[in-house]
Every structure is written in structure tokens, then in C-alpha cells.
Structure 1
Amino acid sequence: MAEITFYGAAQEVTGSCHLVSSPALGAVLLDCGLHQGMKAKTEAVREQFPFNPYSLDAVILSHAHLDHCGRLPLLVHDGFNGDIYCTEATAQLLPIMLFDALSLYENDLMRENRKLKRKGQCELTPQYTKADVLHVLALLKPTAYQQQRKLADNASVFFYDAGHILGSAIVELKFDEHSRQKTLIFSGDLGNKDTLLMKDPTCLTRADLVVMEGTYGDREHRTQGDTLAQFKDILHRAYTKGGNVMIPAFAVGRTQELLLYLGKLQLAGELDDWHIFLDSPMAIEVTQIYDQWLPTLDCEGVKALCTGEQTLLKHFLSTLHLMVSPEESMSINKITNGALIIAGSGMCTGGRITHHFKHRIWESRNTLIFVGYQAQGTLGRRLVEGAEHIRMFGEQFAVKANVETLGGFSAHAGQQELSDWIGHFQLPLQLALVHGEPGALATLKEKLRCDHGIEAEIPVYGQTIKF
């Protein structure tokens, strides 16, 4: 009998990793993601896999966010040498994501080894290297949406647009078992339908088991119209205060949506005189890939703003400045007002945004805007929850900047969208809820029981479900 064991994103929102096993299918891993948090860059990567990577037949990747793909280099370092199936756009994004993560990991490891050396203790050896990242990229099998990929004689995988970020996929596994075809659907991260850039998630109708995310299982998002109005209001108030705006944003997905929203405001003459600084080499590189795929994305949202030769980076926002080098990034510190700074990391666990905090978070004339989910244990989560003081770079800083949250920018489906998506499936249906904090998943479970009569399971780490 087929079974799935949950080794990540089980009652948490990071570290997606699920092992599917069947005689016809073999051993297939759905995602291989990092746990994200303040110490995740060094600590999570050292965790040993609870299975033998060498024994896996394949990996199927839902999308390129690090909490879904970040441990792939460690997986190959520990012996995996099979195929890694993903969409074509995901295959383009992965080199950027994995090499950036490697750089952060190596820098953190170097700092930690300096501390150990000063204490006379043994230094830590790298758990993976550039060679492992290159090995991952060599194993990729880019696959178009709805194209059949055979995993074995009687097993195939299909990808469908999840509408979350560029290349994000709903995974459909089909395989024969005891003269009967079985189907497993893994939602990956389902997108928010009310966005400018991405298409709506594809609706499917039949499965023996659905593994569905529930990040926002306990709440709804603001509508696009309400979000844009709130964004405009926050920016206008910030401008009249004579300060600067800081926006922590994920390099993949959130940054590109932000550029479109800002472009819409500028086109309507409602942006004031903000100068927009995209202070992230990674986000700039990712946006260049988005530009290549613009015709395949949400045509109405893109066509309304991009005409002729315009792209997200080219002649789209007249006041957009691309900051690549450290020197360019530091030059923003000299600007006293009118700077709108978009920088990573999205959860404020490091990156250039923390340096902008260092120079601005203690001044009340500045504004900090959160436009994405902030996981437990991150600096972003503490700020959203109202921290009055934070510690960075060995110093304590007072939080005097105005802190705002814009939930409508989320790239995840809200509660009702999750319910509507699962409602397309034929009953009876076996359902497991993952990628959500316990309270959100419990609320979603009750919602699905009331809406559809579906009794969902909420697996814990290491739990196995047969189907």
C-alpha cells in the first residue's frame, strides 16, 4: 500500500519535505526545504535526514522558495543521485536561489568558526559546497505544465500552475497499485487569486490523497482594491512625515508584485515623489527572469501596466533605482527622506534590510511595511507582534519607526480560497493539511468539515499516512 511520511512543514510553515513510497513508484521525495528562522542558515542544514538520500528514486519540487528547495545540495552531498523534476521556470530560478543560500551559509559558517577558533575549539567543516549545488543543477529535469513525465513503468508526474510564484506547481502523482491507478495531489503553495501578476491556481477534481497547504487557514486577505488603497494611504502618510520607507520582501514573487503595485500607483499619479530603491542583487536577477515569462503570466494584470518594450525593470517605474554593489546599497544611507527601499530578507533574518533597520528603525519619521508572512522565531515576526526593542549586530535598537502590515500582498491563498480549491475534488477524499501553524490548520480543518464534510488529518513530524 502506498504511504507518505511527513518530514517537514508538519504543523509549521517551513521545511517542506514529504516522502512518498509505493512498490510501483519507489521512494519519491516531495520538496526538500530549509527551515527558516534566525539560526536556520547554520543549524537546520546540519540536521541529518531521517531517511537515506541514496535510497531515493527521485525528487519532485513544487517551486523555488528555499523552504521548499534549500536542502537539495545537502541531499546530493549525502548520496542522492536521481532525477529532480520541476517546472521550466523553477529550473531557471534555482541557480540564483541555491548559490545565494550557499553564500549566506558559507559566511555564517566562517563567522562561527572564527568564534570557535578563538575559544580553542574544533572548527566546523562545510556540510555542502559549490560542487553540490552544481550537482543539483545537473540533475534537474525541467518539465512544462501538464506535460507527462514518466517516473517508472507505471508511474508519472504532472505539474499544474499553482499561481504562487513564477514556476510554482501543484504536483500530481499517478501510479498503478494492485491493478488500480492511484493519484496523489500535492498542492505545494497555492497562490492568492486576487493578485496582479500570477494566474489563478489550477483546480483539479480527483485524487486518492490530497496534501494541501494551510498557511492562511485561519484568515482572509484584504482584496486587491483595499490593499492598494491602504498601501497608497500608508505611503502618503509616510511621505508627509518626511521620512523613508523600508519594505522587507522576498526576492521571488513578492518583489515583482510590489513593482507592479507601485507602477499602478505611479500611473494613476498617486505615488507622491518617492524614489524606489530595489536593493537586492538577487531580486534584480530574479526579476530579469520574470521579465522573460511576462507573456505567460496574468495577461490582464501585466497588459494593463506594461506596454510595448516595457518590463518590470525596463522603463516601467520612472524612479526605480537598481542597487547591486555594497557601495550602491550603502549610498542609500545618505538619503534623509523620500526613499522607498525594497530589500531582503523577507523575514528580516539577515540581508541588506537589517542594515537599513540599523540606520532608520529608531527614528519615528520612518515607516516599516511588512508585505509577507513572518514565521515564528524571525525578527520580522517580533516586529509585527510589536517589539519595542530589537537586537542586531551585537547592539540593541529602539523600534520607533511606524510598523505597518499589508496582508493583501500575500502570495498564499486565504481561508476561503483554500476551501474553494479543495471543494472541486470528488468525495470521498483523504486529505492531509501541512505548511501551517497548528492553530491555522485546526481552524481550516473545522472550516472544511463544515463546508464540504471532509475530515482532514493534521500530521505531526514523522507521521505516516497510508492511502
Structure 2
Amino acid sequence: MNITFLGACGVVTGSCYLINIDNKNILLDCGIYQGKDSDEIKNSSFEFNPQDIDYLILSHAHIDHSGKIPLLYKKGFRGKIICTKSTKDLCSVMLPDSAHIIEYETKWKNKSRKKKNLPEIEPLYDVETAKKTLPLFEGHEYNENITLFSGFEITLLDSGHLLGAAIIKIHINKDKDKFDFVFSGDIGNINIPILKDPTKINFSDYIMIETTYGSKDHKNPRDELKKLARIITDTFKKGGNVIIPSFAVGRTQEVIYTLNNYVEKNIFKNIKVYIDSPLSSECTEIFQKYEKDYDKEAKDLLKKGDNPLDFHGLFFTKSKEESIALKDIEKGAVIISSSGMCDAGRIKHHLLNNLSRSECSVVFVGYQAEGTLGKRILDGDKKVKIFGKEIEVNSSIYNLQSLSCHADKKGLLSWIKNFNPKPKKIILVHGEESSRESFKNALEKEGFKVICPKLGEKLSL
């Protein structure tokens, strides 16, 4: 079996790996590059012929893992997309939404190009193409043994990262090849609301694992959630709003869950929380559909009749007009909006209206890739450009990093230590180079054999 590393090597976006075995071509993930990693050439092309791909095994629905699927289809892919049932449902709304954003951004780029007498460019893909990919998705349950073809069997295990997110365990049983290979996808943080902790695995010959936080350790997520409550209380006392840039799927639902808990305990009375993202609304409905995948705490709340994703004072904006009306709210509101890295979507409007106000707070609850607006704000830029306007950053800026849905260095190491005996090799991907190197050093101190592949490198297992 050969594996070629086609994305997320030395960076945290663009997850894509090609497996060649027995004249079959299998992709693991097909993600788009974002932030500083965003590259028009990388995002608009493939290092293989999409028509030759037999299967795509998708770890989860986040766009840096799934966002190039419509382009894959556009260029001729007609194979099966294997994932969990909830990932299939999430992609049914996330991929068309991604297409909508791409079309919108292309429209603005073409306005600028027209002024410079440059030819128009086409969007990477459109909404119609994104929708055409959906019949190719084949949803499966966690822990189900799936035979793709003779001698190639996979099992999708709960990674604790996102609803439906999976660790992909591959069992090879061919004449010359007999071994297990585990692709971690994105490993989740422990003690995160709603989601179960990552599945422990005790054997594999080879492991390919993400290293997003391979050089950092998080604080206790529960402590960070208490800090969020204090931030909201203090901001309201100052007469401001709390703006939370949040990923529409996963993080938004976790924040809703947390705020529901505080409302139930009467810590917040008459609070008004606005979810200003149509995609967040759709994804929240999908979350409610898959209650069977919740952790014990969330299931116990449901048994008591408490829907953890709903409470008095929670509002989902439905129309563009409702979204625009939020600019008239000067104080006492929590506005949760996407995108989580502030590079697109309605969040930019809320930052435009609140970022310069010293009585307001902006709370980051997820990873901010280099080069994004969110990262610039987080790094302390005193002025940023939003829709061409230069805005002063006067609001209080908070980073609740421990709410990340990615495991930290300690969590990744703990997960790997479940494997006994030690795997033959551990392959590190999906992390900035400094993060990969730090985690490589930590693993080697524990006696593991580690590889940090370069983009385009091919490895024979």
C-alpha cells in the first residue's frame, strides 16, 4: 500500500491523502486550504485525476476536510463517499453553504478585477455542483465493519471532535499486505459539552495523526466555560455586547449548551442570545437529530426534559432583515455568528459594528489560522480592515483556547499511549511545522518511531 500526502503537511488545512492499493485509488479527506494556507492553485487543482478515484473516506464535515469535494465532482469524480450518517447530513448543508460563500467572494473579486481591466474568474464551484455531490455520500454507523473491496475493510470510530467525526481504522488483508492503519482525523478534546471523549484504540501497525495543538496544552475546558460566564456578566455591566465568532457546526452548539446550563441555574436571567447564521440553525437541527451520539451528561439532561440546545432567550435569525436589525442592539446581547475565523459571513458585520467599542467584548472559542482576520485581531492588531473600512480594535479580546475541539499535546500523547504494542511508525500531519516538530520530539522521547512527511511525498507501507 502506498500513501501520498497531498495536503495538511506542515499546515492545519487542506487535509487530503491518496492511498493506492490493488489498483484501487482511495482518498482520505478532500479539504480546502484556508487562512494563510489558502492558495488559488492548490485549491483549484489536484495532483491526480479525479476520475480515477474509486472511494473517498471522509473523517468529518469541517470544510478543511471536505471543502474540495464539489471540485472533485466538477472534475469527474463519481465514486462513493464513505462517512458517518451524521457527517453525511452535515455535509448536505455545509457544502452548499461553502459554495455560496465562494460564489459571493468571487463576485467581489471580479468587481475589483473589472476596475483593473482584468478578465473575470470563475468560482471554484457553485451551489448546484455542491448539491450534485450529495447522492454520492454513503452514511454508516460508528463501529460498523465496512468492506469496500476484497481485503480492504474500514471501521469508523468516534473521534470526539465533532458530531459524526470519525477515526478511520483500515484493515488490510491482501496476499502481500496484512496490517492495520489508523487515520485519526481530528482527535477531540476531552470533557467538551455534548460530545463523547475520543475512542481509545489498543492496536495498529501504523498511525497517521493530526498535530493541530501538538506543541500546546489546554486549560481545563470547564474552567474556560466559567470564564465565558464572567466575560458576559462583566460586559453587560459595562453596557456592551459580547460577540462570539464561532464555527457553525460544533462550536456554536457547544456554546449554546453551556449557556443553557447557566440559564437553568439562574446564573443568567433574561439573557438574549442571537445565533446569526442560517448554517448554524440547520446544523443545530441536525445535532438534535443525533441525540444517540451525545455523551452521558447531555443524555441525562434530555431524560429530565431539558433540551440542552434550547432555552428561553435563545433566538435564531432567519432572514437577512433580522440579521441587519442586530446592529441596532447597543447592549446586553450575546451574538454568535460565523465564520469562526472571521474571514467570511455575517460575523464581519458584527465586528464592524462592535469592535471599536471599548464596552464590548469579542470572545474567540476556536482555532484561528494564520492570515485570517480572527488571527490578526487575536494577535493584537490595533486596526483591521473590514469591508474596506479601517476599524480600530478597542473592544476587549478574549481567547478561550481550551474550548477547542482539538486535543492538546497531552491529549494526543495520551491517546497514542493506548496502543500496545507500539505501532511500527507514527505519521504526523495536520499541524504547523513547529507543532509537528514539538510533538515528534515528545513521541521520540517515549520510544516511538515518527515520520513528518512533506507535501507530495509518497510512503510505502
Show CA shifts across 1:296-352 (max 9, x none). 211223424x45554345xx3211111121111111111111010000000000111
Tell me how far apart the structure 2 counterparts of residues 174 and 105 of structure 1 sit (CA, whole Å). Answer: 37
Q: Which amino acid aligns with 2:19?
A: V
Q: 1:421 and 1:39, CA in 2 relative to 1: closer, same or farther beyond 3 A?
A: closer
Whether 2:21 is the aligned partner of 1:22: answer: yes
Identity of aligned residues (%): 35
* Partner residue, 2:78: 81
Instruction: Indicate the SS of the match to 1:85.
Output: strand
Show CA shifts across 1:423-464 (max 9, x none). 1112242111111111111111111222x3112111121112
Give me the TM-score of the superposition, normalised by structure 2.
Answer: 0.96
**8 Å CA contact retained: 1:273, 1:338:** no
Aligned to 1:259, which of 256, 259, 262? 256
Q: 1:44 and 1:288, CA in 2 relative to 1: closer, same or farther beyond 3 A?
A: farther
Q: 1:392 and 1:142, CA in 2 relative to 1: closer, same or farther beyond 3 A?
A: same
Instruction: Give the Å deviation of 1:131.
Output: 4.0
Tell me how far apart the structure 2 counterparts of residues 361 and 302 of structure 1 sit (CA, whole Å). Answer: 38
Whether 2:226 is the aligned partner of 1:229: answer: yes
Tell me how far apart the structure 1 counterparts of residues 362 and 270 of structure 2 sit (CA, whole Å). Answer: 18
**8 Å CA contact retained: 1:256, 1:312:** no
Tell me how far apart the structure 1 counterparts of residues 128 and 318 of structure 2 sit (CA, whole Å). Answer: 25
* Partner residue, 2:62: 65
Instruction: Indicate the SS of the match to 1:382.
Output: helix
Which residues in structure 2 correspond to 1:63-462 (within 5 Å)?
63-271=60-268, 273-304=270-301, 306-307=302-303, 310-313=306-309, 316-425=310-419, 426-450=421-445, 452-462=446-456
Tell me how far apart the structure 2 counterparts of residues 129 and 361 of structure 1 sit (CA, whole Å). Answer: 32
**8 Å CA contact retained: 2:102, 2:125:** no
Instruction: Indicate the SS of the match to 1:50.
Output: coil
Tell me how far apart the structure 2 counterparts of residues 86 and 130 of structure 1 sit (CA, whole Å). Answer: 21
The worse-fitting range, judged by mean Cα deviation, of 228-237 and 99-108 is: 228-237
Q: 1:361 and 1:126, CA in 2 relative to 1: closer, same or farther beyond 3 A?
A: closer
Q: 1:270 and 1:199, CA in 2 relative to 1: closer, same or farther beyond 3 A?
A: same
Instruction: Give the Å deviation of 1:93.
Output: 0.6
Q: Which amino acid aligns with 1:376?
A: E
Give me the TM-score of the superposition, normalised by structure 1.
Answer: 0.94
Tell me how far apart the structure 2 counterparts of residues 323 and 390 of structure 1 sit (CA, whole Å). Answer: 27
Q: Which amino acid aligns with 1:457?
A: I
Tell me how far apart the structure 2 counterparts of residues 390 and 236 of structure 1 sit (CA, whole Å). Answer: 27
Q: 1:11 and 1:308, CA in 2 relative to 1: closer, same or farther beyond 3 A?
A: same
Tell me how far apart the structure 1 counterparts of residues 102 and 9 of structure 2 sit (CA, whole Å). Answer: 24
Instruction: Indicate the SS of the match to 1:158.
Output: strand
Tell me how far apart the structure 2 counterparts of residues 194 and 251 of structure 1 sit (CA, whole Å). Answer: 20
- The count of residues paired between Structure 1 and Structure 2 equals 460
Instruction: Give the Å deviation of 1:118.
Output: 3.7
Q: Name structure 2 gaps, 5 residues minimum.
A: none
Q: Name structure 1 gaps, 5 residues minimum.
A: none
* Partner residue, 2:4: 5
Instruction: Give the Å deviation of 1:27.
Output: 1.3
Tell me how far apart the structure 2 counterparts of residues 129 and 350 of structure 1 sit (CA, whole Å). Answer: 16
Instruction: Indicate the SS of the match to 2:290.
Output: helix
Q: Which amino acid aligns with 2:417?
A: G
Tell me how far apart the structure 2 counterparts of residues 153 and 359 of structure 1 sit (CA, whole Å). Answer: 58
**8 Å CA contact retained: 2:97, 2:127:** no
Tell me how far apart the structure 2 counterparts of residues 8 and 119 of structure 1 sit (CA, whole Å). Answer: 33
Tell me how far apart the structure 2 counterparts of residues 140 and 125 of structure 1 sit (CA, whole Å). Answer: 26
Instruction: Indicate the SS of the match to 1:301.
Output: helix
Show CA shifts across 1:366-390 (max 9, x none). 0000000001111111111111110
The worse-fitting range, judged by mean Cα deviation, of 353-362 and 441-450 is: 441-450
Tell me how far apart the structure 1 counterparts of residues 303 and 318 of structure 2 sit (CA, whole Å). Answer: 26
Q: Which amino acid aligns with 2:391?
A: F
Instruction: Indicate the SS of the match to 2:169.
Output: strand
**8 Å CA contact retained: 1:34, 1:44:** no
